[in-house]
Amino acid sequence: MFFTSIGAMAFKSRFSVTRDAEAGINTTTLQLIGFTLVTYDNNDEYLDYPDFRWVPKSPGIYSLSAHIELIGMTEGKLCDMTIRKNGVTTVLHDRKEAGSLENLAMQVHGDIVVEAEDYFDVTLYHNNGNTRNIQSLVDCRFWGHRIA
């Protein structure tokens, strides 16, 4: 029985993607984040360039998370990070205002009901006045797994 449980878990949907390099985010424009490096994706559900979206193959309840660090934000400027469902509907959102010149860490996490053919992506918006870079690797991640 122990091995059956482990075997069943091996096929459960789970993914983790990151960026392999810093990227510029334009000011006052909602921008899709291109996660370019797949850490793991056991059901081949993450579509990279040009879509940059995760498309689960079966309905259920999934735990999704994203973390992005924006470099050198100016005091009082805002940043919004969103996980969207089907390119439109906001399902998870984080908004922060920068303190004195700082790197601003944005993070969201939640459990999402997924229907057939849903897809999810991550967007970022800031009003810093000029292009800001996002970090790469562990400071820019999108990940999730099926929980029910």
Kindly tell me the sign of the dihedral angle through the C-alpha atoms of 32, 34, 113, 81: negative
Bridge partners of residue 76, in order along the sequence = none
Please state which CATH number belongs to domain 2-146. 2.60.120.40
Residue type, 105: A
Kindly tell me if the per-residue pLDDT of 100 is higher than 90. Answer: no
Contact predicate 61/113, CB 8 Å: yes
**CA atoms lying within 13 Å on the CB side of residue 92:** 20
What's the pLDDT band for 4 if we cut at 50, 70, 90? very low
What's the pLDDT band for 6 if we cut at 50, 70, 90? very low
What's the pLDDT band for 47 if we cut at 50, 70, 90? very high
Q: Over the stretch 78-92, which tens digit does the pLDDT of each residue have?
A: 999 999 999 999 999
Q: Give CA–CA dist 61/101, Å, rounded.
A: 39
Contact predicate 24/140, CB 8 Å: no
What residue has token string 């793991």?
40
Q: Over the stretch 107-134, which tens digit does the pLDDT of each residue have?
A: 999 999 999 889 999 999 999 988 899 9
Give the pLDDT confidence score for residue 72 in this predicted structure. Answer: 87
What's the pLDDT band for 11 if we cut at 50, 70, 90? low
Kindly tell me if the per-residue pLDDT of 5 is higher than 70. Answer: no
